[in-house]
Amino acid sequence: MHVTSRRSATWRSTTSRLMALTAAGSTLLALGSLAPASAVHPRADGSTTACLTPDAAAPDVAFAARGGHGTDHRAVPTAEQRRIEARTDAILDRQGTRARKKAKALAASVPVYVHVMAGSDGEGDVSDSQITQQIAVLNQTYSGSESADAAVTDFSFSLAGVDRFYNDTWHVDGASESYRAQTRQGGANALNIWLVDFDYLGVATFPWDYSADGDIDGIRVNYASLPGGSATSYNLGKTATHEAGHWFGLYHTFQGGCGAQNDGVSDTPAQSAPTNGCPVGADICASAGLDPIHNYMDYSYDDCYDQFTPGQSNRMSQMWNAYRA
């Protein structure tokens, strides 16, 4: 799959607009002690191929995308999902936390490392203010403050470092595994966010892959999706919320379609397909409950999103204990 093969005409026009806006006058600042202003690495890996398929060298690495303009390029097959759940259950059994539920709540502060993968012309060099706003959105969405029905999760986020690179290959997510391995910071508990320009709104790794592929662990997010970005209907910063949900171990609400196993969370009604927009009252599956269009793990517009469920919150805490604590 060529990186640009799924880019729609609409998407191209939004990114082109952003390129025009950011090519001139963008600031080249770095935040934090881990991100000196000299952290500029044009073409650091020497690659001349700009269109490598993400994760092509490790097709068994689970990842998931918030397409926004198409379906996932890799859903998790049911058999693999069962293996993952069984492995997680065994780990939690050994830890003795299986019955923990909310009775032994975490209060984890997640350090966040933001890697701005700008082009050599400065495209995608988002402002420090946008990054600060993005962290605020993560805290807002994971604290359940957008809806009375939203779960208050056990997670908060603090910016641990920002670095900026000006590399035309990395900017379009080329040599993806290489640049992630070269730039990732922190341990299993650290959320690394790479801001790139690619076909997707975002792509995430799952926590159960950390032990084998920790060097590329984290989420890749389209820079145009940050608060104030140019991705119309997807520029309130909720893509990072969605991708972090995968990083914590959540599936899409439409995982498994109308089947019984679904997304492994009992309080997200089954859903046969991703939502586009915000179709209030949609109810595709015969099973109980309307489609969870307001759930961060659907594909709805950013302004339609307002919640994780208590079941999702509990799953994230269990996954944290199993793989990231």
Residue 203's closest CA among 226, 229, 228, 173? 173
Nearer to Zn ion, 66 or 164 (CB): 66
Residue 223 has which token pair? 């820079």
User: In a 3-state reduction of DSSP, which class is residue 304?
Assistant: helix
Nearer to Zn ion, 254 or 323 (CB): 254
| Closest CB 96 distance from Zn ion, rounded Å | 31
Cα gap 239→222, rounded to integer Å: 8
| Closest CB 242 distance from Zn ion, rounded Å | 6
Interface residues with Zn ion (CB under 5 A)?
64, 66
User: In a 3-state reduction of DSSP, which class is residue 211?
Assistant: helix
| Closest CB 252 distance from Zn ion, rounded Å | 5
Cα gap 257→265, rounded to integer Å: 13
User: Distance of CA 94 to CAs 23, 56, 86, 232, 253, Å?
Assistant: 53, 34, 12, 46, 28
80, 85, 123, 243: which is the annotated catalytic residue? 243
Nearer to Zn ion, 206 or 223 (CB): 206
The DSSP secondary structure of 97-164, one letter per residue, reads -TT-TTTT---EEEEEEEEEEE-TT-TT---HHHHHHHHHHHHHHHTTTT-TT----SEEEEEEEEEE
Pairing of strands 202-205, 219-222: antiparallel
Residue 14's closest CA among 191, 233, 230, 320? 230
Nearer to Zn ion, 30 or 64 (CB): 64
| Closest CB 201 distance from Zn ion, rounded Å | 9
Is 243 one of the catalytic residues? Answer: yes
| Closest CB 274 distance from Zn ion, rounded Å | 9
Cα gap 137→226, rounded to integer Å: 10
| Closest CB 275 distance from Zn ion, rounded Å | 12
The DSSP secondary structure of 262-282, one letter per residue, reads TTS-TTS---SS---S--TT-
Exposure letters 133-166 (e unless 16+ CB within 10 A, then b): bbbebbeebbebebeeebbebbbebebbbbbbbb
Q: Which residue is nearest to Zn ion (CB)?
A: 66
Nearer to Zn ion, 119 or 256 (CB): 256
Nearer to Zn ion, 52 or 64 (CB): 64
Catalogue the active-site residues.
243
